[in-house]
Amino acid sequence: METGKIVVERVGGKSTATHCYSKYPLKFIIPNKVSPSQTDAVWIYTITYGGGIVSGDSIKFDITVGDGCTTVLTTQASTKVYKSVGSKYSEQVLEARIGNDALLAVIPDPVTCFSTAKYSQTQVFKVLPDSSLLIVDWITSGRHGRGEKWDFEYYKSKNHIFSEANEPLFLDTILLEQGICSSIAERMQDYQVIAMVVLLGPKLKFVQDQIQENVKNLMSQQLHIPSGSVERYGDTHNDLYLTKPTFIASCSVFGRKCPQGTGLVVRIAAVTTESVYSFLQCQLSGLDSLLGVSPYQ
């Protein structure tokens, strides 16, 4: 059953939320002013009663961004997923439609799953040839202050992008599940955050080019092995140059032949949440002209 619905349309030449509905446990906040008055963007904050997603919660909502509109979907803080009760799972489903010459930016804070939590989220986006879409999807290892690191039972996140003819443009699934032979923490080793950023559409082309170049330069510095250290490659204990990077990022393109043009996906693994925030703030700073303020400022 649907727990929320938002429609953004152009009214009087500006992007305006013309329909907003939500019910427990979901609530939307649409402030009158987030960005400078000359910026045409609707900011929507999603919150849940109780400050997080409770075991057994099922949240399903959809958003429609009309032609020529700009919409930002974000959160006030990290999405907390509380402990699972018995076999109950929590789930969150978003379905979004983006019109021509429209932009939807989904830029939440990270998901933080408590010990034993079981959580699944699905985000499905339908785009037109001139639609633009930004997705940030990320998760932390848990509540470090309580000693919880990758201590949840199950996490699954799906992000699917389809054309107006229902042709798949981007299909991605992340699954983290405690195993019989190894735990999530063992598989993740020392990395405490994983993230994915997806950019698609003409309004984000300049950001794509910037991010690709920046990631290339960043990783060439992090993974560079100075001359003279190659012969010592096996001596990882004494060679400071071959220690594990604290931040790893990679880029790949998709959709070369689709009408929407080439999209970009960035994947990140990091030791600290702060380093990911800094990366996102820096790489997405150019969007302040579209969104009014820079994401994650």
Task: Say how far apart CA 193 and CA 235 lie, in whole Å.
Answer: 28
Task: Report the predicted TM-score, pTM, of the whole model to 2 decimal places.
Answer: 0.92
Position 233 scores a pLDDT of: 43
> At 259, is the secondary structure helix, strand, or coil?
coil
pLDDT 10s digits, 30-78:
998 776 667 899 999 999 988 899 999 999 999 999 999 999 999 999 9
Of residues 224, 71, 84, 94, the one with CA closest to residue 161? 94
Q: Flag whether pLDDT at 225 surpasses 70.
A: no
Handedness of CA 107, 108, 109, 113 (dihedral sign): negative
Q: Do 81 and 59 touch, CB atoms closer than 8 A?
A: no
Q: Do 130 and 100 touch, CB atoms closer than 8 A?
A: yes
Position 227 scores a pLDDT of: 56
pLDDT 10s digits, 125-180:
999 999 999 999 999 999 988 889 999 999 999 999 999 999 999 999 999 999 98
Please tell me which residue, 257 or 96, carries the higher pLDDT value: 96
What ranges in 184-266 are assigned the alpha helix state H?
184-188, 205-222
Q: Which helix (H) or strand (E) segment is 177 a member of?
A: strand 168-177
Task: Say how far apart CA 186 and CA 189 lie, in whole Å.
Answer: 5
DSSP string, 98-144: E-TT-EEEE-PPPEEEPTT-EEEEEEEEEE-TT-EEEEEEEEE---G
Handedness of CA 46, 48, 49, 52 (dihedral sign): negative
Task: Say how far apart CA 242 and CA 233 lie, in whole Å.
Answer: 8
